Amino acid sequence: MDTVLDGGFADPVLQSQACFRAIMDALANPGTCQDLVTPHSISHTMSVELVSTLLTLSDHDTAIWLDNGLAHDNAVTAFIAFHAGAPIVAEPGKAAFAFASAADTLPALDQFNLGTQEYPDRSTTIVLAVPALTGGKTLVLRGPGIKDHRHISPTGLPGDFVDQWAANRDLFPRGIDLLLVADGQVMGLPRSTRMTEGH
């Protein structure tokens, strides 16, 4: 139980505000890495970056989806109940936010809430923990918030990620937004971003 009590931010208001700014900056400047405030680890299944974003984004009014490993970890669910009070849903399509500890635990992007033409902002924001935000296959980003283009190379993305992302982008203004987290940082990929494989 100590982990449940101790695992949150040391200064919840200031630290969650700092993380919120980092997340907003990451989405406004796609493909850039922004520093998160990371709390203590609560479980080996949930990275500190996932904990940080969950504490920042969720509350008792926001339904969240967890991958199987997180959803079946009692330390994680007890922590969420104590610190956020967010309802956990089993169906990805009902989640405001989704948290995945690895790409192979993540359903296809189109399984989540893609929003509607009238309310595109009601779509799911996915937070995916990856091994690293650099060192992987080069991807080229274009779109709002990017001057000309930007190269990124996160590791641990789904094998068909570029194709899934193209289908997601085609839905605009509907579609999910994605946050990649690793090494104390967050990288934003909003639905408006175009992505191609680099060379």
Cα 143 to Cα 193: distance, rounded to the nearest angstrom = 5
Q: For 11-25, how does the pLDDT look when each residue is reduced to its tens digit (9 = 90+)?
A: 777 888 999 999 999
Q: Report the pLDDT averaged over residues 101-126.
A: 96
C-beta atoms surrounding 28 within 10 Å: 13
Q: Are 52 and 19 in contact (CB under 8 A)?
A: yes
Q: 10 versus 60: which is more confidently predicted?
A: 60
Q: For 40-50, how does the pLDDT look when each residue is reduced to its tens digit (9 = 90+)?
A: 778 889 999 99
* Cis amide leading into 173 (omega within 30): yes
- Six-digit token string for 14: 């200031």
The secondary structure element, H or E, covering residue 1 is: none
Q: Look at residue 119 and tell me whether its pLDDT is greater than 90.
A: yes
- Report the candidate in 172, 174, 170, 168 with the shortest Cα–Cα distance to residue 119: 174
**Residue 16: CATH number of its domain:** 3.40.50.11310
Q: Report the pLDDT averaged over residues 82-106.
A: 96
- Check residue 199 and give its pLDDT: 66
- Check residue 145 and give its pLDDT: 96
- Report the candidate in 123, 131, 75, 74 with the shortest Cα–Cα distance to residue 101: 131
Q: Look at residue 58 and tell me whether its pLDDT is greater than 90.
A: yes
Residue 178: domain span:
2-197
Query: 């520093």: which residue's tokens?
Result: 35
- Six-digit token string for 149: 């283009």
Q: Look at residue 183 and tell me whether its pLDDT is greater than 70.
A: yes
Q: Look at residue 1 and tell me whether its pLDDT is greater than 70.
A: no
Q: Report the pLDDT averaged over residues 34-45.
A: 88
Q: For 77-91, how does the pLDDT look when each residue is reduced to its tens digit (9 = 90+)?
A: 999 999 899 999 999
- Check residue 28 and give its pLDDT: 97
Q: For 134-149, how does the pLDDT look when each residue is reduced to its tens digit (9 = 90+)?
A: 999 999 999 999 999 9
Could you tell me what percent of the chain has a pLDDT over 90?
Answer: 85
Q: Look at residue 4 and tell me whether its pLDDT is greater than 90.
A: no
Domain count across the chain: 1
